[in-house]
Structure 1
Amino acid sequence: MPELDLSPEIRALRSTLSDVRQVLNPAGLGEEVVRLKAAAAAPDLWDDPAKAQKITSELSRKQGLIEKLSSITSRIDDLEVLVEMANAEDDKATQDEAKLELEQLRAILSELEIQTLLNGEYDARGAVITIRSGAGGDDATDFAEMLMRMYLRYAEKQKLPVQVLDTSYAEGAGIKSATFEVDAPYAFGTLSVEAGTHRLVRMSPFNAAGKRQTSFAAVEVVPLIETTDVVEIPDSEIRVDVFRSSGPGGQSVNTTDSAVRITHIPTGIVVSCQNEKSQIQNKAAALRVLQSRLLEQKRREEEAKKKQIAGDVKASWGEQMRSYVLAPYQMVKDLRTEFEVNNPAAVFDGDLAGFIAAGIRWRKQVGV
């Protein structure tokens, strides 16, 4: 049996690890862990639950990064030993084990490398995601609901906390729109590459003739507002309406006017929340989403000015960024990155890691 030579691959792993370590700065991470541990040990930590959650989450994330860097270093060293052992014993099973370990290390390093690219102004924030159905009738509202489930499944698999803030159900199938919050570190940086227009092509289950139907849905991703942000919204600039929450088919969810709709008069932005138990809670949640959207609008305006000044002629973030084709063939393809898979069912079940990683690399490359 020929000897197994993984030396070029192992050198590549060490080179990538070196680049990742340079960006993540383990020494700096260690100093941050010490500071966060001290903050987490404060006796009044949980007097402010939101602040406490942020501190403990950030502490856990940075400790995890340090442990992962140390583990990868040890595993690469062990891989070299494993290859030597496989060749010395002329053992195919050990060679296969070494190849499997190589692939696993590549995957872990690729994930870490993606994290090093999340260095935008708001990338470390949580995210507020809104899905809206577009052209396509019942197929579009059904598609919007499929996308909502896709992102909720992705968050579940990644163990990201999600809170659904508002859902507007369609009269037929699916939803007109939905807004939910992913309050986890780097949720915005990770999920912002999902923003844009999504297209579905399939044999319509709502068409008696069974014709192929194309439908669209829009995904909006904005950074979650933080208490340190200053987004002043004078009371004179908003209109607050209250109404009763409702579910599919108009079924009453509660018997009081607890749902809240806030309209920002200068921009026309409308935000509603009906998933909390009281009107006060719904108003607070809706204001938070409104502030997030105004913050994102401000960021986009600033970026537009920068590009205008710089004379940037690069292609903008495309309106139609991904196609989900269920007929006559099976494929999901990102039109920006060319990344594609032939298993739409897995994608709709939350298998988005490949698309997100490709999107983050593409964004960095084109400077979007």
Structure 2
Amino acid sequence: MTTTLELAEAIRGLDATLHNIEVVLDVAKLRKDKADLEAEASAPDLWDDQTKAQAVTSRLSYVNMEINRVEGLRSRIDDAGIMLEMAESEDDPGVLEEVVEELAKLRKSIDELEVRTLLSGPYDVREALVSIRSGAGGVDAADFAEMLMRMYLRWAERHGYPTEVYDTSYAEEAGLKSATFAVKVPYAYGTLSVEAGTHRLVRISPFDNQGRRQTSFAAVEVVPVVEQTDDIEIPDEEIRVDVYRASGPGGQGVNTTDSAVRLTHIPTNIVVSCQNERSQLQNKATAMVVLKAKLLARKQAEEAAKIDALRGDVAGSWGDQMRNYVLNPYQMVKDLRSEFETGNPSAVLDGEIDGFIEAGIRWRKQRERAAGK
């Protein structure tokens, strides 16, 4: 049985860890940002500029969430100390057991928050654009792509992160050929970037009359949203613009006008599209945001490749083959990089992927340190 001395030491350890996190997150600055943002949000002309207003309210929501998260953990550590003193003074094993359970929960929550301090890349603080494409495996792959999209949207919903779907290209029989959506919260890119790569599904195909096992693949791409400070300029002559009528599942028409927009960047052959707005101009503007983000990610990858070439790094990208989802003959989801795994694929596909994300971020940080980055 855990002694009161061991529990007191555990509380001191958690307190020290949380203090280090508070320093890295700069909670004092977060509080100052909150006051400044609240002043901006109360301005009577705030919504004259809707883009700026949404940015202010989104940032304020995020800052409040971060402050409340840290303050909540600090309060729980203090309460655990009081409960431990009570258990000692009253010699109450029931209260002592409550302290043990609360410390286990606190340790998990603090470990999750500590992962945030590992996000120090130049674009990690950005919002994220996530693209999913079906790969080999026919209709099963298209169905898997739709399963992955739901997984990420459910993950965002669980955390209260706002999302916006920009484009969905439905497959003929079922599922998605491709989809692009935004996760509009700071650090979404740093958090979700470890999800980039090839995902593999093994299951009994619901589309096979003979009930055979099928392996299918889907690719996930995560790029940071471009900001005004980024040097991404695209001359008009480098872009081909196509307009078309948006469609839904099974090819059914969604809009009665040609409002969907497809942009092709001619030098790189990068193609993006948007169909979530009724206005062709709005869809073009959103598609341009996605295109610039992909070009920024390409530029970032090229710069990283040059550095790796100078260093002599011949290892493959960490974002290639990355995770298996096995539904038959056994139940398991396993990350091939961090080796984190779970025997509950249903929960994972319903958005419970924090364990994989945290393990991926820690794995990446260890790899960067080993490479001297």
Task: Determine if the TM-score, normalized by the shorter chain, exceeds 0.5.
Answer: yes
Please give the residue correspondences for 1:311-330 in structure 2 after superposition, counting only pairs within 5 Å: 311-330=312-331
The size of the alignment, in residue pairs, is 368
Q: Deviations over 1:327-356 (max 9, x none)?
A: 110000011111111000000101111111
Equivalent position of 2:292 in the other structure: 291
Equivalent position of 1:90 in the other structure: 91
Quote the RMSD (CA, aligned, Å): 1.9
Shift of 1:41: 4.0
Q: Deviations over 1:173-231 (max 9, x none)?
A: 21111111112111111111110000001111222221211110000011112244332
Equivalent position of 2:282 in the other structure: 281
AA of the residue aligned to 1:188: Y
AA of the residue aligned to 1:127: A
Shift of 1:169: 1.1
Unaligned runs of 5+ in 2: none
CA 1:3–1:265 in 2, change beyond 3 Å: closer, same or farther?
closer
AA of the residue aligned to 1:199: R
Unaligned runs of 5+ in 1: none
CA 1:326–1:334 in 2, change beyond 3 Å: closer, same or farther?
same
Provide the secondary structure at the position in 2 that maps to 1:117: coil
Q: Deviations over 1:92-139 (max 9, x none)?
A: 331222122212211221222111112211111111111101111111
Q: Distance in 2 between matches of 1:346 and 1:281?
A: 36
Question: TM-score with structure 1 length normalisation?
Answer: 0.94
Equivalent position of 2:21 in the other structure: 20
Shift of 1:16: 1.1
CA 1:74–1:164 in 2, change beyond 3 Å: closer, same or farther?
closer
Shift of 1:46: 2.3
Equivalent position of 1:100 in the other structure: 101
Contact 2:201 2:326 in 1 (8 A): yes
Equivalent position of 1:252 in the other structure: 253
Equivalent position of 2:132 in the other structure: 131
Q: Distance in 2 between matches of 1:290 and 1:196?
A: 19
AA of the residue aligned to 2:358: A
Shift of 1:263: 0.6
Deviates more, 1:116-125 or 1:337-346: 116-125
Question: TM-score with structure 2 length normalisation?
Answer: 0.93
Please give the residue correspondences for 1:32-51 in structure 2 after superposition, counting only pairs within 5 Å: 32-51=33-52
CA 1:111–1:219 in 2, change beyond 3 Å: closer, same or farther?
same
AA of the residue aligned to 1:278: S
Contact 1:318 1:336 in 2 (8 A): no
Q: Deviations over 1:290-322 (max 9, x none)?
A: 111011111111111122223335553142100
Provide the secondary structure at the position in 1 that maps to 2:246: coil
Deviates more, 1:211-220 or 1:72-81: 72-81
Shift of 1:66: 3.4
Provide the secondary structure at the position in 1 that maps to 2:114: helix
Deviates more, 1:336-345 or 1:22-31: 22-31
Deviates more, 1:203-212 or 1:144-153: 203-212
Q: Distance in 1 between matches of 2:136 and 2:314?
A: 30
